[in-house]
Structure 1
Amino acid sequence: MATLILVRHGRSTANTAGVLAGRTPGVHLDERGAAQAAALPARLAALPIAAAVSSPLERCRETLQPLLDARPGLALETDERISECDYGDWSGRKLGELADQPLMEIVQQHPSAAAFPGGESMRAMQTRAVEAVRDWNARIEAAHGEHAVYVMCSHGDIIKSLVADALGMHLDLFQRVQVEPCSVTAVRYTRTRPFLLRLGDTGDFAALAPPAPADGAAEARDGDNGRAVVGGGAGAP
């Protein structure tokens, strides 16, 4: 079956503002995110990409635009099933304000039981994303053969849930996975099992360095205080 190249969107204005954007319209790449997107065509230059699929949200479509510009024959498809988690009433709120909400402990420790007020459950999020990938795998293989490679641009929690599925991990373990902005995760699907080929690859180890304090406080990142950043965070400073 196909090899899926999962790209998380580049850093967004919401990431740098510490806001849980969710499906809020009008969230775009920031300057660094645009630079990350501009570097994507060179990073994927060796791959014969058969198709490009994106979440309908602006930050994902903007991330793939340089790749589309570099490959004029590559058309963009959008799929609502790989859109960001519907965080409901949490959408547009500061992550710092949400940290002490009782639901946050469930999101961190037992995400398969987490459902956002006015939004969707994390279990439903994973189900729709996995169904989308299975569907696209079949479509790509039928059109381009079993060794085809295609790109899908989505969001942090979506990609983490797909990685959990590929590894046979329970959703309750998915907060142990981290994917940086504009990172590449590759999964090769076969008839009997998926193979995780790359996970959150940015080609840059700067994210592993201790963060430099800014105005007395370091930017939140996965692993701080044992917590995952809901929505994926802004990546390395």
Structure 2
Amino acid sequence: MPTLILVRHGRSTANTAGVLAGRAPGVALDERGARQAAALPARLAGIPVATVVSSPLQRCRETVAPLLAARPGLPSHTEERIQECDYGDWSGRKLSELSDEPLMAVVQQHPSAVTFPGGESMRGMQARAVDAVRDWNDRIEAAYGTDAVYLMCSHGDIIKSLVADALGLHLDLFQRITVAPCSVTAIRYTAVRPVLLRLGDTGELGALAPREDRAADASPDTAVGGGAGAP
């Protein structure tokens, strides 16, 4: 079965503003996110990507645009099932405000029990994303063969939930996974099991270095939506 390259969209204006974007329209890449997207073709040089599949949201479409421009004729598709979680009434709110919501503790510790007010459940989010990958695996294999490689551009919580599925982790453990903006995660699907090849690879190690400002924003929790990555 195919190898799937999962790319989280580049850093967005919502990431830098500390806002949970969800599916709100008009959330674009910021300047750093645009540079991250521009570097993606070089990072993927030599990898025979058969098809690009993107979330319909603007920040994902902007992320794959340089890759599509660098590879004229590369097929591309939009897939609704890999778009951002529907955070409902939480969408567009500051993460600093949401941290005081009682539901946030459940999001961090027991996400399989969470349904966002006016939105979807995290179980439903994972299920639709996994179904999308399984369907695309079959389509790509039928069109390009068992050794094909294809790319999906999606969102932090979506990618984390797909990694959890690939590793056989319960959804309640997925907050232990981090994928930075424009990071590359790769999963090879076989007849008997998925194999995680890369996780959140950005080609840089700056996020591991101590930061003078870390005490100000340190938190034991994982940012809903995936966070803004290293400064």
Q: Is the partner of 1:20 in helix, strand or coil?
A: coil
Write the mapping of 1:50-89 to structure 2, written as runs, cut at 5 A: 50-89=50-89
Match of 1:226 in 2: 220
Q: Hey, what's the Cα distance between the residues in 2 that align with 1:212 and 1:160?
A: 28
Range with greater deviation from structure 2 (72-81 or 182-191)? 72-81
Instruction: Show the counterpart of 1:193.
Output: 193
1:156-210 CA distance string (max 9 Å, x none)? 0000000000000000000000000000000000000000000000010001112
Q: Secondary structure of 2:138's match? A: helix
Q: For 2:159, what is the secondary structure of its paired residue? A: helix
Stretches of structure 2 lacking an aligned partner (at least 5 in a row): none
Q: Give how far 1:73 is off.
A: 1.3
Shift of 1:213: 2.3
Partner residue in 2 for 1:149:
149
- Is the aligned partner of 1:204 residue 2:204? yes
- Aligned-pair identity (%): 76
Q: How many residues are matched?
A: 231
- Contact residue 164 and residue 174 of structure 2 kept, 8 A: yes
Residue identity in the other structure for 2:117: P
Tell me the amino acid that sits aligned with residue 152 of structure 1. M
CA distance in 2, matches of 1:130, 1:213: 37
Q: Tell me which stretches of 4 or more aligned residues in structure 1 moved more than 3 Å.
A: none
Partners of 2:221 and 2:197 in 1: how far apart? 26
- Which one-letter code corresponds to 1:116 in the other structure? F
2:50 and 2:75 in contact (8 A); partners too:
no
CA contact (8 A) 2:156 2:179 kept: yes
Aligned twin of 2:11: 11
TM-score for both structures, normalised by structure 1:
0.96
Segments of structure 1 that go 5 or more residues without pairing to the other structure are none
AA aligned opposite 1:73: G
Instruction: Work out whether 1:39 is the aligned partner of 2:39.
Output: yes
Q: Is the 8 A contact 1:4 1:151 kept in 2?
A: yes
Q: For 2:219, what is the secondary structure of its paired residue?
A: helix
Q: Residue in 2 aligned with 1:178?
A: 178
Report the equivalent of 1:213: 213
2:119 counterpart residue number? 119
Whole-Å Cα distance in 2 between the matches of residues 210 and 170 of structure 1? Answer: 31
Give the counterpart letter for 1:211 in structure 2. Answer: R
Deviation at 1:225, TM superposition (A): 2.6
Is this contact kept in 1: 2:37–2:63, CA < 8 A? yes
After TM superposition, the structure 1 = structure 2 runs for residues 85-124 of structure 1, keeping only pairs within 5 Å, are 85-124=85-124
Quote how far apart the aligned CAs of 1:226 are. Answer: 1.4
What residue in structure 2 maps to residue 168 of structure 1? 168
**In structure 1, the residue corresponding to 2:187 is in which secondary structure?**
strand
